[in-house]
Amino acid sequence: SYSPSLGPKLLRPCFFCFSSSTPFAKLAKLEAMKKQKSTNEFIFNHFELLSEEIVFAILDRLNENPLDKKSFSLVCKSFYAIESRHRKTLKPLRSEHLTAILNRYPYVTHLDLSLCPRISDNSLTVISFVCKKMLRSIDLSRSKFFSHVGLSNLVMNCSNLVEIDLSNATELRDSAAAAIAEAKNLEKLWLARCKSITDIGIGCIAVGCRKLRLISLKWCLGIGDLGVGLIAVKCKEICSLDLSYLPITNKCLPPILKLQYLEDLVLEGCFGIDDDSLAVLKQGCKSLKTLDMSSCHNVSHVGLSSLTSGTGCLADSLQKLSMLQSIKLDGCLQGRSQEFDPGGANFVLMLSYKINSS
């Protein structure tokens, strides 16, 4: 109220204003209770006392169900933050959420995009700028719509990549192979069904990726003796080599058998491999453990007998392959399985021959 002579009148506090039944008093009481509750939570939240190492050890044991870690991260804010730093593997369901997911998990080392078929050059660029040197492995085996441009950005920014799976990328050409060749630390590479890559492209990879230990060229119909020979000559650390269904001949076998660390060699469905190839095996590859020549229809009993010529015993002729554990010749010859123990070693040679119906 206001009086012209006395000025504004001061309102006297009344008992009603401070009564506990008024809305103002109830609101103040609720605010005080909330403050007290938050203070108690801060004091008695025992989860905050756990070190990051202990929480990491707990998360290491939550591997059976992928949803367990998600539930764990919802316990409290500290667990939510620690879980984001702990996760090293991601398998997103949709490429549209890649940016948000990668920002949430900045320490990812393995990115599995096999459930994201629509990966474009922009997607790979986002991955390269967010993950950078943390990323060591990426699976693009079911992804399409990217080209050498996206691969170049990926390899340039993610210099610690050691594994790349590009299986089924039928549209990739030699320019993509040249981009991959810049991954100097690459150790494992899958190019199954990359039918447009030729000897020129695989030659770039052979020169650039000297640390390769595993390479799969299955169904790469554009790669022949020249490309395979370059891989064998330049990549001395190869342990596993899959050449299934390649149009290769015996010419590429001598440099392959000179690889000091080669353990697994797959020549399945290579129609250019014939009886002379088995004779080349006499040169030996001491590190070789498994040899798969299944469905090599030009291998016959003549080639098998060439292995035993001069010795009369297949086991004796394979002594130069001292580490060999198994040979698969499914679909090559008529016959039946044989088991024997060469040189006293626990060795089982399975010659599973396809019996022609005719």
Place 349 in a pLDDT band, splitting at 50, 70 and 90: very low
pLDDT digits (tens, 9 = 90+) for 189-211: 999 999 999 999 999 999 999 99
In this structure, is the dihedral angle defined by the CA atoms of residues 262, 265, 270 and 275, taken in order, positive or negative?
A: positive
Least confident among 129-133, 180-184, 274-278: 274-278
Confidence of residue 223 (pLDDT cuts 50, 70, 90): very high
Enumerate the domain spans of the chain.
52-87, 88-208+226-232, 249-333+350-357
Rounded (10°) CA dihedral 156, 210, 231, 132: -20
List the beta bridge partners of residue 118: 144
Q: What pLDDT sits at residue 158?
A: 96
Q: Which residue has the higher pLDDT, 255 or 38?
A: 255
Q: Are 349 and 338 in contact (CB under 8 A)?
A: yes
Closest CA to 204 of 150, 151, 140, 127: 151
| DSSP letter, residue 333 | S
Q: Judge: domain 88-208+226-232, CATH 3.40.190.10.
A: no
Identify which has the larger pLDDT, 343 or 256.
256
Q: Return the pLDDT at 357.
A: 36
The structure tokens 């990328």 sit at 169
Question: What average pLDDT does the chain have?
Answer: 81
Say if residues 302 and 267 touch (Cβ distance below 8 Å).
Answer: no
Residue 61 backbone dihedrals phi, psi, to 5 degrees:
-95, -5
Residue of 318, 275, 320 whose CA lies nearest to 293: 275
254 falls in which pLDDT band (50, 70, 90)?
Answer: very high
Q: How far apart are alpha carbons 240 and 197 in whole angstroms?
A: 20
Structure-model confidence comparison of residues 252 and 49, the more confident one: 252
pLDDT: which is higher, 259 or 16? 259
Plot region of 153 (φ>0 → left; ψ -120 to 50 → alpha; else → beta):
alpha
351, two tokens: 């010659």
- What's the farthest any 2 CA atoms get from each other in the chain? 134
Q: pLDDT by residue (tens digit) across 128-170? A: 999 999 999 999 999 989 999 999 999 999 999 999 999 999 9
Confidence bin at 56 (pLDDT 50/70/90): confident
Coil, helix or strand for 114?
Answer: coil
| Res 80 pLDDT > 70 | yes
Q: Residue 79 pLDDT more than 80? A: no
- Partnered with residue 241 across adjacent β-strands are 215, 265
Per residue in 93-142, pLDDT (tens digit) is: 888 989 999 999 999 999 999 999 999 999 999 999 999 999 999 999 99
- Please report how the helices 66-73 and 52-60 are oriented relative to each other, as an axis angle in degrees rounded to 10: 150
Q: Name the region of 195 (left: φ>0; alpha: ψ -120 to 50; beta: rest).
A: alpha
Confidence check: pLDDT of 90 > 70: yes
What secondary structure, in 3-state letters, does 197-231 show? CCHHHHHHHHHHCCCCCEEECCCCCCCCHHHHHHH
Q: Is 264 helix (H, G, I), strand (E, B) or coil?
A: strand
